[in-house]
A and B are shown apart, each in its own frame.
Chain A
Amino acid sequence: MIATVGSLLDGAHARTWELCSAPDGMREDRAAALLAAWPRLASATLRALDMVPLEPVWLDDTASVRQVLAEVVAASCWSQAVGVQQQGDVRAPNRDVLAIARRIGLIADLLSGQSAASTDVDRAAVVGLQANLLAPVHAVAVATMAALSDQTGLQTTRWLFRAVMARTERYAAMPTVERAGRYEDVAAIAPGEPSLDGAIAEWVRATVAALTSPHRATGTALQVAAGDAMILTATAATVCRAATQLGYVDASAAAKALAALAHAHRAWRAPTRWPNTVYLDGVRDVEQTDASRRVRQVVTDSLRRDRDWLPAEAMADRLDIPALVATMRRGMHAVGNVGLAHFQAIENLVRGRGQLWIAANAITQSAYKGVGNDRGRMPQGLGPDAPRRGRRHRPARGRARSPRQHHGRLGCPGRHRRCAADDRGWQRRCSVEGAGTGRRLLRGGPSRAVRDGSPVPVGRSRS
């Protein structure tokens, strides 16, 4: 079973529950053992709280908690003040608290790669995570205070733990449902692990690497990423339906999830259909290809039969459905990350240094403000109305078109209605040719393109 932040939190909470249920609540040696374990608990909690920063930072109201926990770490000399240790007996730290601290430390490790929470959803999830981390801290503080009782010489220590109790109380009182969030799905998955989780982890790593590379973000790479995202979205919907059918997921929650997944599935279809008339060349990323194949293979092996999805009962026979639902939740986070990389890659292509398109109103030549372009009805939503209209606009044979002329020949996605490449971007990346065939080449290589064995200066075309 893969350890997740959620499962570690469950473990920490269960152990805290046991600690608080222990009958020897007020024994002196218990106080010493608890105090001895506090520095580790406090430092692990501080580390976990620091792993997912909130943005903007003033929204984070855990400053007072952090301050008091830092005090606890700094003042780790109290155990010496407890009576038992004054007699030279070195008290071992309480095992329950150490176990809780260990789990919280693992949670900090798992969260170490998370980016700052800057969206509303992530902020709410961080608040939930903070509550889940601080609830055991509050409970241990209560238990410690009870154990300290009225021992003499420990007034300062008691004041410190009273402060810990007071500042963590509201987190510990937060209803469980409000603490749930996406960070609970963060798991200890090693890329390449022979499981769907492992395959997805590797797929995210390889795909994001390919899409963020200036040379490997090819048209095919973008299509493959979008296609895989569609497959994973369909897989998640299938698993969600099966889990609902088998009673593992609440029907109303499943309905919301399925609606969102259907929307995402529809939305991914457009980027999978890279326009036939546009070719974005570059270096093929073999790692992305392998990772993509692996994801599809694992999905096929575990969830498909006879070219269709497994029925819910067959799925339940083969797999642990709650674990599979958790895997698909993580998978959807992974798809989200790939979606972001995909968006940034397209954004970079369109508006970055190698800008491919400019605003419609920047086109000045009326010859290129044809009805076809203005309607924005290009083949597959992008590219010129080739080849039919391409012929109409074709310049005389052998005559090079200026980049501005090329601009008029490139279409754009619907909301821009019509756009084209600017001169610099054009010269860097693009080669437009073959007006007769309606083909457009956008090449990501150096500042020239090669066709039919002979280099063609970019920004010029042959017809």
Chain B
Amino acid sequence: MDAPGGLEFAWGHVRNATAAFLAVDDPSSECLFLAAECLDLEGLFTELGVAPEFVDEGLDAAGSLSRASALLEESRPAVPLAVWAALQTLRARAAR
């Protein structure tokens, strides 16, 4: 079943995740690479003709991505595979 505004809110969570990754100042720069991947993912969202919904920041980056994933899962028919695959790859990389 399509969740109303699922894509928009998922994008909002991805934006929060981007901001969270960028806030981390780690010497390995891994968070920078993760943030860059988040931005790639945001780029894919821009192709979908939706606008991001403002979502209160309250989750960490991994939590935001999980929430975005759950929202996309609920809106599965409307979610292009490219977005889904990119998000899952990103989550996997962030969880490592």
Contacts and interface: CB of A to CB of B under 8 A. Distances in A.
B54 to A, nearest CB: 4
Contacts of A308: 28, 30
Interface string B27-58: 01110110110011011001100011111110
Given A276-B19, A387-B54, A284 B46 contact: yes
Contact of A231 (B12, B18, B29): B29
Interface of A: 218, 220, 223-224, 227-228, 230-231, 234-235, 238, 269, 272-273, 276-277, 279, 281, 284, 289, 292-293, 296, 300, 307-309, 380, 386-387, 434, 437-439, 441, 451
Contact of B32 (A234, A292, A438, A451): A234
A276 B43 contact: no
A380 B19 contact: yes
> 4 shortest A-B CB distances, which residue pairs?
A439-B54, A308-B28, A234-B29, A284-B46
B91 interface: no
A438 B28 CA distance: 35
Contacts of A307: 28, 30, 96
A277 B54 contact: yes
Nearest to A266: B25
B22 interface: yes
A222 to B, nearest CB: 10
Contacts of B46: 218, 220, 281, 284
Contact of B33 (A276, A296, A451): A296
Interface of B: 12, 15-16, 18-19, 22-23, 25, 28-30, 32-33, 35-36, 39-40, 42-43, 46-47, 51-57, 96
A273 B16 CA distance: 10
A289 B32 contact: no
A277 B57 CA distance: 11
Contacts of B28: 307-309
B63 to A, nearest CB: 16
A231 B54 contact: no
Nearest to A270: B22
14 contacts: A218-B46, A223-B39, A227-B22, A227-B35, A230-B32, A231-B29, A269-B25, A272-B22, A281-B46, A284-B47, A307-B30, A309-B29, A437-B53, A437-B54
Contacts of A231: 29, 32-33, 36
A386 B12 CA distance: 15
A441 B51 contact: yes
B30 A228 contact: no
A223 B14 CA distance: 14
A230 B46 CA distance: 23
Contact of A292 (B36, B42, B54, B96): B36
A227 B12 CA distance: 19
B43 A224 contact: yes
A228 B18 CA distance: 13
A401 to B, nearest CB: 18
Contacts of A276: 12, 15-16, 19, 54-55, 57
Contacts of A238: 29
A447 to B, nearest CB: 17
B43 A227 contact: no
Contacts of B32: 227, 230-231, 234
A273 B53 contact: no
Contacts of A441: 51
Contacts of B23: 273
A224 B39 contact: yes
Contacts of A228: 36
Contacts of A380: 19
Contacts of A234: 29, 32
A277 B46 CA distance: 16
Nearest to B11: A279
A435 B92 CA distance: 35
Given A296-B36, A300-B33, A273 B43 contact: no
Contact of A451 (B15, B30, B51, B96): B51
A341 B96 CA distance: 35
